[in-house]
Amino acid sequence: MADLRINLAGIQSPNPFWLASAPPTNSGYQVQRAFEAGWGGAVWKTLGDPILNVSSRFAAVSFNGQKVAGFNNIELITDRPLEVNLKEIYETKKKFPNHAIIASLMVEPKQEKWHEIVKRVEDVGVDGLELNFGCPHGMAERGMGAASGQVPELVQKQTYWVKEVAKTPVIVKLTPNITDITVTAEAAVEGGADAISMINTINSLAAVDIDTWDTVPHVGGKGAHGGYCGPAVKPIALHMVGECARNPRINVPISGIGGISNWQNAVEFMLMGATGVQVCTAAMHHGFRIVEDMIEGLNNYLDEKGIASVSELVGKSVQKYSDWGDLDLNYKIVARINNDTCINCNKCHIACEDTSHQCIDMLKDESGKGYLKVREEDCVGCNLCSIVCPVDGAIDMVEVKSGLPPMTWNERQAALGILACGVDPVTK
Amino acid sequence: MSEYQDFLQERDRLDFMIQQGYSIKNIIENLSGAFVELENKEGEKETLQILTPDGRKYFSVLLLKQQKTGAL
């Protein structure tokens, strides 16, 4: 049995699976149910001045029969008074002292507002704070959430105000609705953040009903943009985690969020630099008990790899995540079709012929039976054929030696620059 | 003819020039591809237009080798 405990900037939890601040962590009843199911921590649904919500609130994007490939919501922060939430946080922490409870907070960008809520929340025994600088809808129209999270100076200043009074670790939750998330991440670090979490939801409109012409969701025939999450956003989140993890100026732990649906996704985020993960959509889709499979799967994975502690995974893939200009231009892979496995559906041929590099030939053997063959010299190793192939193992992407030494774009451009300057690098 | 065959021709032309004692003196890259300017010790100049991406990788490797060792 591997050690699944994590310590994120001083916040300890029995495993790396936390529920993200969202509808599943709206009340003590829910968080206690989650802890009973096995979740290691919960970020309480954002506390602030109680808001008013609308009906309806959620929409999902299904794709080719997969329900909830993406999830969209227009629900705001808590609509319950602070005292009610604090009482339930206190009771929950008392019942589950070894589980992490982090309070998500959002108030107007005023020093006294942050000081007040931090003090009141810490008084009931939370393990940490998460500053919600990411909620993209509703609250952003009032200058909070993503509206302040998109301005590095506001991120830095508000983090600093919180750190002036906070006694527990401060996590800054970042919005992905920005060109370069490392800019706001750096601002959080400069403000004194103990950790950062990402990503909050992405501005979205789930759909338009082509019969009624209403937006999905709609509120009495009118819609507004929401926040997108779920499996569809995982690649975006993973990239942002990786960008922050490999930035030397962002030297604080990361709590990974965004489409994490199973233990494999959690491993990916941890390998890319996250100390732990937060989950929402998968729990909303399947219930709290999905954490049982997550814990079991992660434990088995670690045992099979001979890894004693889950913390050993953190950041192991970060060095492999680089810039395009540092990739080897002379590394070459090609597609190979296994004709014993191939079902001759021709999807690879069509994809290659129509949209890639026209290097899969449809041939016939001596008996007249059709088969597919890759002209490897013309294959650029794009992967498209193996991506569209419906049969596992029918197409392998294999490395072939180019016969040339490794050479990156940056090295090439430097060599061209030297040539243009007329400098002889050997004699110099 | 496949692009690979075009590349093989470009590679052969580059190799031939190097074997003849030419070295790369200048490279101009523009919308029409790359123009590799070569010169031998007698001061004779030749220019090869390279159109394929593999050809552009290949002369880049030659250039790096030339800069590293002073010879091809």
Q: What is the domain range of residue B13?
A: 3-69
Neighbours of A371 (CB within 10 A): 13
Residues 6+ apart with CB under 8 A from A423: none
Domains and CATH numbers, chain A: 6-317 (3.20.20.70), 324-400 (3.30.70.20)
Whole-angstrom CA distances from A290 to A38, A283, A296 are 9, 7, 10
Q: What are A215-230's pLDDT values in tens digits?
A: 999 999 999 999 999 9
Q: In 3D, which of A340, A331, A347 has the Cα closest to residue A381?
A: A331
Cα distances from A171 to residues A26, A127, A197, A200, A380, in angstroms, run 19, 11, 6, 13, 44
Could you give the 3-state DSSP secondary structure of residue A202? strand
Residue of A nearest to B66 (CA): A426
What confidence category does residue A13 fall into, taking pLDDT thresholds of 50, 70 and 90? very high
pLDDT tens digits for B17-58?
Answer: 999 999 999 999 999 999 999 999 999 999 999 999 999 999
B14 in contact with A, Cβ within 8 Å: no
Q: Which residues of B touch A329 (CB under 8 A)?
A: 57, 60
A419 CB neighbours in chain B (<8 A) are: 24-27, 63, 67
- For A30-88, how does the pLDDT look when each residue is reduced to its tens digit (9 = 90+)? 999 999 999 999 999 999 998 999 999 999 999 999 999 999 999 999 999 999 999 99
Within 10 A of A387 (CB to CB), how many other CB atoms are there?
12
Mean pLDDT computed over every residue of chain A: 96
Query: To the nearest whole angstrom, how far is the Cα of B53 from the nearest Cα of chain A?
Result: 10
Domains contained in chain B, number:
1
Q: What is the C-alpha separation between A198 and A133, in angstroms, rounded?
A: 10
Check if the beta carbon of residue A196 is closer than 8 Å to that of residue A183: no
Sign, CA torsion A11/A13/A16/A17: negative
